[in-house]
Chains A and B, each alone.
Chain A
Amino acid sequence: MSKIKIVNLQKSFGDFTAVKNSNLTINDKEFFVLLGPSGCGKTTTLRMIAGLELPTSGEIYLGDEEVGMLRASERDIAFVFQLFALYPHMNVKNNLSFPLKMQGYSRSEIKTRVEEAAKLLRIDHILNSNISSLSGGDRQRVALGRALVRRPKAFLMDEPLGTLDAEFRELMCLELKKLHIDIGATTVYVTHDQLEAMSLADRIAVMDGGEILQADEPSVIYNKPATKFVASFIGSPGMNFISIDQGISNEQSTLNIEGTNFNIPKQYEISKGKKNSFGIRPENLSLTNEGGLKGSVFGVEYLGSRKIVTVKTNFGEIKVKTDISTSVKINENVQVKPSNDNIIIFDGETDKSLKSEFVN
């Protein structure tokens, strides 16, 4: 197992730049998730680490070795594809032993390794089955098994749970996490599903438009998003933004919106311009009768234990996560107020969060 380092990595397809000048360090034995919407460059980054695409510029280190221009077969990594890519003309056992055959292991060594991996993934009872007769979950396990048998330097996974149904995905998520703890392999995992990312990752890198916006632990990504995009992409629903037409000065700790003063965390950074936004998560807002932003109820979604109330205000729609007991009617006039000072101000010009007592 090794650490993976990406330095100034860039990839262009003709005029289109898929990955822009990216830098990342993935620690040994870490479960690292690349998260972002489709077309953000996360899969291209992964494919470059794998050697399936060659970078336009930049370096990729696997351990201490620079592998950027090496062929996939020379890198000693394993890749789990979204559609599994199990060889349909071979049975499970042959699929698992295929990577080992190339490396010239003895027959008995191959047998031991295949059986070991099969046992670990609980697929030892289907070793002689055909791929076409397997369920989605079993295919997933065989795909993982094929990656495992070689004991590679790193595992790369491209949305491996993408094709499974929701219930099964949750189960496989748990299994993947457990497997990662058991074997402690450096893993880079690509997904567009933030829940998957949150539950699996040691660290997450959020990407958009070919750039890595933030790479940190899930709780930091959620609570202290580096940019407006990260704040809106993570969380369901994402963060609310209220546009404010005022600059932010150093040490400022209140903000006047529509004549109401709101407490904000003490700011340590001066905003560049006068068009900024005020970001707050739905669970940090509450409905009140006075002292908040005025609006009317636009929609109510029940989530079982919580309720999401959408309020139409002069600042656009604001989503509030409230207690299930709160009763509101559509078109009812309400006011929305922060229930704590868990607030982030985003600079209007750079879209980055301003440093404060809360974000540092």
Chain B
Amino acid sequence: MSETTHSQVSFSDELLKEVNRVIGQFPEGKQKSALIRVLHIAQAEFGWLSVPVMDYVARLLHIQPIEVYEVATFYSMYDTKPVGKVKLEVCRTGPCMIEGAEKIVKYIEDKLGIQDGETTADGIFTLKTVECLGACGYAPMLQAGEKYHEHLTEAKVDELIEAYRKNPVANYMGQETNLNSAKS
């Protein structure tokens, strides 16, 4: 997504149904508790959280826009600036570091010609280093959308970049998960 804001913001009926299901998990009048989930849904739908998107979420939940802004800017998973269709989020914390996370980051930077935090010119990839994702025994690892890619090697990075380039999968809801990721 390369636009600098969103002009038309509204959820499909299906997404509105999902939003109402989430709101329904909380008691009457406590609908603000649905905010974090609804922002995930909005980000998956619109690519990133622009002011119009956040204002729309505020209207859906009957809360003030500022209540949405302060949450959207606090949590690291939310993007308040445009990002690529696929975010490659490489864990850089302790256990991943000692298993070579820094080399993996460097490798992706060189391969895609971008630095940490940047997006490729074609708008497909954003590289981001993140803190511990709870995959320390399967290091090094990165997350793309909802999917964990573990035991990374340069060859594996090549493969998944190739696959995502062909078929960019953003933060789709209900994306196929990685059930075999945790081996013990």
A pairs with B: no
